[in-house]
Structures are given as C-alpha cells and as structure tokens.
C-alpha cells in the first residue's frame, strides 16, 4: 500500500502541493485527476523522489521513505513514468530496456523479461535497434510502460500516459495497465488530465486543484451527477443567467 500524509512540495517559487494525503491500495488502480498545474506531476515526483518533499510523509507498506534518494526507491520497487514521454532518445529501444533492467537488482532473467515485453508490444521487437527518439508517440509510450514494469515493481506511478495519443493506442495502453495491476500485489497510481480516461480503468480517484485534494471517491461517485464538481474544477463555474 502506498500512503501519502500531508505532503508539501515546492516547485521553484510555487507551492505545487499543499498538504495532500491519499492512499493507493494494491490490486486496483487509483486515479489522480485535475487540470494542468493542479499538482499531479509534482505529487508523483515527490513520491518517486525526483523532487524532494518540503514536508509530510511518504510510506510504502508502512515504511517511511520520505528521505530516501530516488535510486534507492527505484530499487525498492517504485517505478515512475514521468510526464512528457521521457526516454533515452539517443539509445536504441533495446538499450533503453537494458538500462531499465540492470540497475534495479531485479530477479529473474533479462531474456525472459524482454520476451514478455515483446509479447505485449510486438512493434517494439520490430524496432528493437531503432533509436528511441525516432519512434512514434504511441510506440514511445509503449516503451516507457515496458521500462516501468519490466522488473515487476510493486508501486507504479504513471503521469499522463495517454497524452497526445490516438484513441486506439490509448486503449491498448490501458489494457496493459489494467492487466499489470491485476497480476498481483501491485499499486498503480495513474494521473490524467482527461478525467474520463482515468476513470475508465481506475476504481478510486482523487481530484486535485491548486495543490490540494478537493474531491475524492469511487468511480461511481465521480462519474455521477456529482461530476458537476469535477467540471467546475476544470472549466470554472457557469455564470448564472439573470
């Protein structure tokens, strides 16, 4: 279980996350939704350790990792696919996967893991020797997901994986994510700007605005009439017509 208690994160001069507490349980996908600038990415960066937290706590299965450096958290089983499709553009697909595998002291064989990746995404096998920067957006996202899940981490953070992708690719990706989460004692935290997407696969969601949680609930609650809250979080309140 992933637990965040009263987390505060500053990004430059802005207080991006202002006291957020949430819980993400294994076996189901937890969604983080909110407009751009709401603090979703900063929250994830604090959980994976890329950005240090200014205050609050992060607990993995009860263990406080708030002060742990990011590479150690990675070795503990935290995987974070950052926003903006970050991969090693100058490395080939296979080199990217090698880099993702070797430093986290994984169990099992790389060969088996690689076969599994190619089984999920055959196009990656076809383009295994191509430089990652030359892949299409969708292919890059497949690579990122593979890199994040290659070594079967127990805590996966996905920051806007659907950004800029065609619907059919998005479906493919979400199938993969659902499948991954179902396979065991795994926590998946998924952030999307487009709420409906996240709620397709998530069972529980948190709505962020200005660095704070303004609404939370199960999928049913979020997609019902109470969704007016959701909409106003993005589009502002409608003017009352006199």
Partner 1 sequence: MKQLGQFLTNSWTLGALAIALAIGASYADTGTVQMWSFVVINILLAQSINLLTGINGQISLGHAGFFAIGAYTSAIVLKSWGVPFPIAVALAGGLAAVVGYLLAGPAGRVREFYLAMMSLAFGLIVYELARELRGVTGGVMGMRGIPSSQIGTLQIFGWTIDTITYFRILLAVLIVAMLMLRNFVKSHYGRAFYAVHVSEIAAGSLGISQAATKRAAYAISGGLAGLAGGFYAHMIGYLTPESFGLMRSVEILVMSIVGGLGSLAGQAFGAILFTYLPQKLQAFNDYQYIVYGLILVFIFTLLPKGLAGLLKTQTRYSKFDQLKGMDSGAAVAPLSIKRGDEGGDADTPLVRIENIKMEFSGLRALAGVSLDLYRGRITALVGPNGSGKSTLVNVVSGIYTPTAGSIHYKGQDIAGWPAHRVAQAGITRTFQDPRNVPSFTVRENILMGAHRRYRHSAIAAALNTPQAKREERDFLLRVDALMRAAGLLDYADTIMSELPYGIQRLAEVARALASDPELLFLDEPAAGLSEVESGLLAALIRLARDHGVATMIIDHHMDFLAELAEEVIVFEAGEEIYRGDMDGMRANPAVIQAYLGVEELAHA
Partner 2 sequence: MDFFIQMIVSGMSVGAVYAMIGLGLNLTFWTTRVLNFGQGSVLMAGAMLTAVMVGSGVNVFLAVGVSLIATAVILWLVELVSVRPMLRLPGSMGWVVSTLGTGILLQGIASWLFGTQAVAFPDVLFRSVDTVEFMGAYISLQYIAVFVISVLIVCLMELFLRHSIWGYGVRAVAHDRDLASLMGIPVRRVVVFSFLVSGVLAGVAGILISQVSGTVDPNFGLHLLILAFVAAVVGGMGSAFGSLAGGLILGITEKLVGGYFSPAAAEVVAFVLLIGVLTVRPQGLFGKRETVKV
Q: Footprint of partner 1 on this chain (CB under 8 A)?
A: 12-15, 35-37, 133-134, 136-137, 160, 163-164, 193-197, 199-200, 223-225, 227-228, 230-231, 234-239
In whole angstroms, what is the distance from residue 97 CA to residue 114 CA? 8
Interaction partner, residue 49 (partner 1, partner 2, none; CB < 5-8 Å by kind) = partner 2
Contact 151, 159 (CB under 8 A): no
Interaction partner, residue 137 (partner 1, partner 2, none; CB < 5-8 Å by kind) = partner 1
- What's the min distance (Å) between Cβ of 170 and partner 2? 23
In whole angstroms, what is the distance from residue 46 CA to residue 132 CA? 27
Residue 219's contacts (CB-CB under 8 Å, 6 or more residues apart) are: 199, 202, 203, 204, 205
What is the three-state SS of 176-225? Answer: HHHHHHHCCCCEEEEEECCHHHHHHHCCEEEEEECCEEEEEEEHHHHHCC
- Closer of 148 and 222 to partner 2 (Cβ): 148
Binding site for partner 2 (CB under 8 A): 48-50, 69-71, 74-75, 79-80, 82, 86-91, 95, 98-100, 102-105, 147
- Closer of 151 and 186 to partner 2 (Cβ): 151
In whole angstroms, what is the distance from residue 155 CA to residue 60 CA? 8
- What's the min distance (Å) between Cβ of 43 and partner 2? 15
- What's the min distance (Å) between Cβ of 13 and partner 1? 4
Interaction partner, residue 182 (partner 2, partner 1, none; CB < 5-8 Å by kind) = none
In whole angstroms, what is the distance from residue 221 CA to residue 102 CA? 42
DSSP assigned state of 133: G
In whole angstroms, what is the distance from residue 208 CA to residue 34 CA? 5
Tokens representing 227 are 């969704």
Contact 210, 39 (CB under 8 A): yes
Interaction partner, residue 242 (partner 2, partner 1, none; CB < 5-8 Å by kind) = none
- Closer of 185 and 225 to partner 1 (Cβ): 225
Interaction partner, residue 160 (partner 1, partner 2, none; CB < 5-8 Å by kind) = partner 1
- What's the min distance (Å) between Cβ of 190 and partner 1? 14
What's the N-to-C CA distance of the chain in angstroms? Answer: 50
- Closer of 24 and 213 to partner 2 (Cβ): 24
- What's the min distance (Å) between Cβ of 129 and partner 2? 13
Q: How far, in whole angstroms, is CA 50 from its chain's centroid?
A: 14
Interaction partner, residue 70 (partner 2, partner 1, none; CB < 5-8 Å by kind) = partner 2
């Amino acid at each position: 279980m992933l637990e965040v208690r009263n987390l505060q994160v500053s990004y430059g001069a802005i207080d991006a996350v202002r006291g957020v507490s949430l819980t993400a349980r294994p076996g189901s996908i937890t969604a983080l939704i909110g407009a751009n600038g709401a603090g979703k990415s900063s929250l994830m960066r604090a959980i994976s350790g890329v950005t240090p937290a200014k205050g609050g706590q992060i607990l993995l299965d009860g263990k406080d990792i708030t002060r742990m450096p990011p590479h150690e958290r990675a070795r503990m089983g935290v995987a974070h696919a950052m926003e903006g499709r970050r991969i090693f553009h100058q490395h080939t697909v296979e080199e990217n996967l090698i880099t993702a595998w070797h430093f986290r002291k994984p169990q099992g064989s790389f060969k088996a893991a690689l076969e599994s990746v190619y089984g999920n995404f055959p196009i990656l096998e076809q383009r295994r020797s191509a430089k990652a920067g030359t892949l299409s957006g969708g292919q890059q996202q497949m690579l990122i997901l593979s890199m994040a899940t290659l070594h079967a981490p127990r805590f996966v953070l996905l920051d806007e994986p659907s950004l800029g992708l065609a619907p059919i690719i998005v479906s493919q990706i979400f199938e993969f994510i659902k499948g991954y989460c179902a396979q065991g004692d795994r926590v998946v935290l998924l952030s999307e700007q487009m709420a409906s997407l996240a709620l397709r696969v998530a069972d529980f969601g948190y709505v962020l605005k200005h660095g704070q949680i303004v609404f939370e609930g199960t999928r049913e609650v979020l997609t019902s009439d109470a969704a007016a809250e959701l909409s106003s979080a993005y589009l502002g309140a409608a003017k009352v017509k006199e």
